[in-house]
């Protein structure tokens, strides 16, 4: 989490970069394993094909074998939905990185093969020296020069900058980077929210420029709902304070989807959202006051467990709203078992394999799994909701689908004991008895 931030899990169970989460939240487009390709995946596929004899003994090289595999991944992404009209391909890293060279070569070939059916957009950083107030375009000039050396000519340059670029600066970038001035756009720092960016780019007519380049005929987009959403965000009526109890809080990207979901909820209610972070490793009951509710997100391992237990106990005894996600739900049930059911050593077998009351235990299909990478219960699963529950009133339907990433589950041997003391298992796997959602009835 400290290096990469949060993992984004697709419906079909791929563990991917959190950037895909941004794309999904902005476009609500379907994402799958085909939406993510890493160097490791590409090289692994090429090696396996060679071992199978697909190359008939030929010398396997970066060009054409690796680059061909990259291009096939792009085409596979386009084929995952019949109605796909546009595929956005993001090449990570920085121009000049040795790791990205095969990908850039594949993009060069792709543009050559598809001619005008694709465009190259170069995202570049244009720094501003605060002391002098001077905008420097040299990094952009050199990065475009490096791209042109390998055969990629940008059709559009998108400049990340602190403030909007002047016409003079755009003309300078246009001249030295050999693109039309109309193809130079700025993406300046926004004042309040990242959701201001689409409105700003629309104001500059970036969307119209791209559609024109791709020869796509389309109407002017109706951004009225988006503007109304921003109005609610910028003019809140009241405040909601939410405490998040976790162990990676100094790195905001570690819980990116949680922060975004809370923000979306606050905007829908036209409330100002204030998030208070609580480090679960150094938590005391004295600092837990002052929030309208607390959220414990997912996680792994022993570190910070008891702090989360303390937060769950505080919320239950003080009747403060508590929302546990994945590990957060497990924490809530372990705390309940210890302090209500009378099992003081109740725990998860992830933390204490020898506990006499394994309220949370390893999924049956995980017991023979030895490797950790990509072996969890991953992807979207259907969940059946019970009527007259908080879960049902939130979703307003009986079957919902949510994505998962976990190895441990609630131990159904304790289900009756929990239910007798007021815990309601409001959501279970549609075809099975796996507990998905639990509520403490007040």
**Residue pLDDT, tens place only, 97-134:** 899 999 999 999 999 998 778 999 999 999 998 888 89
For the chain, domains (ranges, CATH) are 8-229 (3.40.50.300), 359-442 (no CATH)
Do the beta carbons of residue 434 and residue 408 sit within 8 Å? no
For a pLDDT cut of 90, what percent of the chain falls above it?
68
Rounded to an integer, what distance in angstroms lies between the CA atom of residue 295 and that of residue 273?
Answer: 14
**Pair type for strands 239-246 and 293-296:** parallel
Do the beta carbons of residue 163 and residue 189 sit within 8 Å? yes
The token duo for 277 is 């972070």
- Report helix, strand or coil for 246: strand
pLDDT of res. 114: 82
The per-residue pLDDT for range 297-316, each reduced to its tens digit, is: 998 888 989 999 999 999 99
The per-residue pLDDT for range 156-201, each reduced to its tens digit, is: 999 999 999 999 999 999 999 999 999 999 999 998 888 999 999 9
In 3D space, the residue among 153, 117, 103, 160 whose CA is nearest the CA of residue 135 turns out to be 160
Predicted TM-score (pTM) of the model is 0.88
Do the beta carbons of residue 408 and residue 350 sit within 8 Å? yes
The set of residues, in sequence order, having a beta carbon less than 8 Å from that of 32 and lying 6+ positions away, is 10, 11, 12, 14, 80
Q: Where are the beta strands (DSSP E) in 197-287?
A: 239-246, 272-279
Neighbouring CB atoms inside 10 A of 93's CB total 13
Rounded to an integer, what distance in angstroms lies between the CA atom of residue 329 and that of residue 374?
Answer: 22
| pLDDT tens track, the chain, 442 positions | 566 788 999 988 888 888 888 888 888 876 888 899 999 999 999 999 999 999 898 999 999 999 999 999 999 888 877 778 888 999 988 888 899 999 999 999 999 998 778 999 999 999 998 888 899 999 999 999 999 999 999 999 999 999 999 999 999 999 999 999 999 999 999 988 889 999 999 999 999 999 999 999 988 999 999 999 999 999 999 999 999 999 888 888 899 999 999 999 999 999 999 999 999 998 888 888 889 999 999 988 889 899 999 999 999 999 999 999 999 999 999 999 999 999 999 999 999 999 999 999 887 666 666 555 556 788 999 999 999 999 999 999 999 999 998 888 899 999 999 999 999 999 999 888 889 999 998 7
Rounded to an integer, what distance in angstroms lies between the CA atom of residue 341 and that of residue 170?
Answer: 68
Do the beta carbons of residue 348 and residue 361 sit within 8 Å? yes
If 0-12 CB within 10 Å is exposed, 13-18 middle and 19+ buried, where does residue 126 land?
Answer: buried
Q: Where are the alpha helices (DSSP H) in 10-100?
A: 19-27, 39-52, 67-79
In 3D space, the residue among 298, 300, 308 whose CA is nearest the CA of residue 335 turns out to be 308
**Furthest-apart CA pair in the chain: how many Å?**
75
């Amino acid at each position: 989490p400290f290096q990469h931030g949060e993992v984004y899990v697709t419906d079909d169970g791929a563990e991917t970069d959190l950037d895909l989460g941004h794309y999904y939240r902005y476009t609500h487009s379907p994402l799958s394993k085909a939406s993510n390709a890493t160097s490791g995946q590409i090289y692994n596929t090429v090696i396996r094909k060679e071992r199978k004899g697909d190359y008939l003994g030929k010398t396997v090289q970066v060009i054409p074998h690796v680059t061909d595999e990259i291009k096939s991944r792009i085409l596979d992404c386009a084929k995952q939905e019949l109605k796909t009209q546009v595929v956005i391909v993001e090449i990570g890293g920085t121009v000049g990185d040795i790791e990205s060279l095969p990908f850039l070569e594949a993009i060069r070939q792709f543009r050559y093969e598809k001619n005008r059916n694709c465009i190259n957009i170069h995202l570049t950083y244009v720094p501003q020296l605060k002391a002098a107030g001077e905008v420097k375009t040299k990094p952009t000039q050199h990065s475009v020069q490096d791209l042109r050396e390998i055969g990629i000519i940008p059709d559009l340059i998108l400049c990340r900058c602190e403030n909007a670029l002047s016409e003079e600066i755009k003309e300078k970038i246009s001249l030295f980077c050999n693109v039309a001035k109309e193809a130079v756009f700025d993406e300046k720092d926004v004042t309040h929210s990242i959701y201001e960016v689409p409105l700003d780019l629309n104001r500059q007519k970036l969307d119209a420029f791209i559609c024109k380049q791709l020869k796509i005929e389309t109407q002017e987009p109706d951004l009225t709902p988006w503007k109304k959403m921003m109005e609610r965000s910028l003019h809140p009526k009241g405040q909601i304070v939410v405490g998040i109890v976790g162990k990676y809080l100094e790195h905001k990207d570690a819980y990116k989807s949680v922060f975004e979901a809370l923000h979306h909820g606050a905007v829908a209610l036209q409330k100002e959202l204030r998030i208070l972070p609580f480090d679960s490793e150094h938590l005391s009951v004295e600092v837990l006051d002052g929030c309208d509710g607390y959220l414990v997100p997912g996680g792994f391992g022993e570190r910070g467990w008891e702090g989360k237990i303390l937060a769950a106990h505080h919320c239950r005894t003080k009747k403060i709203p508590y929302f546990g996600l994945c590990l957060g739900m497990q924490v809530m049930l372990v705390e309940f078992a210890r302090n209500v059911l009378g099992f003081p050593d109740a725990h998860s077998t992830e933390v204490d394999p020898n506990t006499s009351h394994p309220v949370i235990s390893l999924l049956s299909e995980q017991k023979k799994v030895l490797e950790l990478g990509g072996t969890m219960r991953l992807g979207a699963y259907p969940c059946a909701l019970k009527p007259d529950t908080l879960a049902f009133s939130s979703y307003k339907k009986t079957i919902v689908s949510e994505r998962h990433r976990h190895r441990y589950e609630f131990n159904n041997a304790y289900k009756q004991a929990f239910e007798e003391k007021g815990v309601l298992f409001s959501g279970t796997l549609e075809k099975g008895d796996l507990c998905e959602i639990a509520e403490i009835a007040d």
